[in-house]
Chains A and B, each alone.
Chain A
Amino acid sequence: ETGVTQSPTHLIKTRGQQVTLRCSSQSGHNTVSWYQQALGQGPQFIFQYYREEENGRGNFPPRFSGLQFPNYSSELNVNALELDDSALYLCASSSLAGESYNEQFFGPGTRLTVL
């Protein structure tokens, strides 16, 4: 069983550019959640994807968008990058099955720096 992986590990972009971050979920998991973590803060929920559909969104502008693929891997896209987008981006996979809760398994994150 492989864990959650994210790529790339580090990324440097300039203001106004676009970025795509990738996440491979843990085997058997059908749900991916994305979080943004600024330095010294707790993670903030961006959105969640369940079976290729968005299943909840946090307080982030539309320039943050995502995709989930049939194999349940996922992408986070951010357009028109701003300096404040510099953060650790975390992907978490889990398995939704009715009311049964399964904990979220986090990847190591992608460190994005916007200059």
Chain B
Amino acid sequence: DAKTTQPPSMDCAEGRAANLPCNHSTISGNEYVYWYRQIHSQGPQYIIHGLKNNETNEMASLIITEDRKSSTLILPHATLRDTAVYYCIVTNAGNNRKLIWGLGTSLAVNP
């Protein structure tokens, strides 16, 4: 079973920041938080990942709470192309690294 809980859907106005929450209250010390997104009928796309510290790349920022029980993915200036299902995944650093996916959050960016 997935170790994360996400809201099923969210809306965001184009140009505004999209803040997608994720709860992972049972996360272990050696487990990372990963975010992927899937645009309709395409393969998932990696966005970002983190362990303890906040992370930022060209696509998004990841804010992880100090107790690591929740995180927020931030798309700073959402565009219509960001409309997708966003998956928050918790996985360990073992050599298997299989990803256990939940249902994700369906983000609709509106004009």
Contacts and interface: CB of A to CB of B under 8 A. Distances in A.
B95 A106 contact: no
Contacts of B43: 4, 90, 92, 106-109
B10 interface: no
A90 B44 contact: yes
Nearest to B32: A101
A73 interface: no
Interface residues of A, number: 27
Contacts of B104: 42
Given A101-B49, A103-B46, A108-B42, A42 B87 contact: yes
B88 to A, nearest CB: 11
A48 B98 contact: yes
**Most chain-B CB neighbours within 10 Å: which of A33, A43, A109?**
A43
Q: Chain B contact residues: over half helix, strand or loop, or mixed?
A: loop
B95 A45 contact: no
A26 to B, nearest CB: 12
Contact of B96 (A41, A55, A105, A108): A55
Given A48-B96, A106-B45, 16 more contacts: A33-B98, A35-B99, A41-B103, A42-B87, A42-B104, A43-B44, A43-B99, A45-B99, A48-B98, A56-B98, A90-B44, A96-B95, A101-B97, A104-B46, A108-B42, A109-B43
Interface of B: 2, 32, 34, 41-46, 49, 87, 93, 95-104
Interface of A: 4, 33, 35, 41-45, 48, 50, 55-56, 58, 88, 90, 92, 94, 96, 99, 101, 103-109
25 contacts: A33-B99, A35-B99, A42-B101, A42-B102, A42-B104, A43-B44, A43-B99, A43-B101, A45-B98, A48-B96, A48-B97, A50-B95, A56-B98, A58-B98, A90-B43, A94-B97, A96-B95, A101-B49, A103-B34, A104-B46, A104-B97, A106-B45, A107-B43, A108-B42, A108-B43
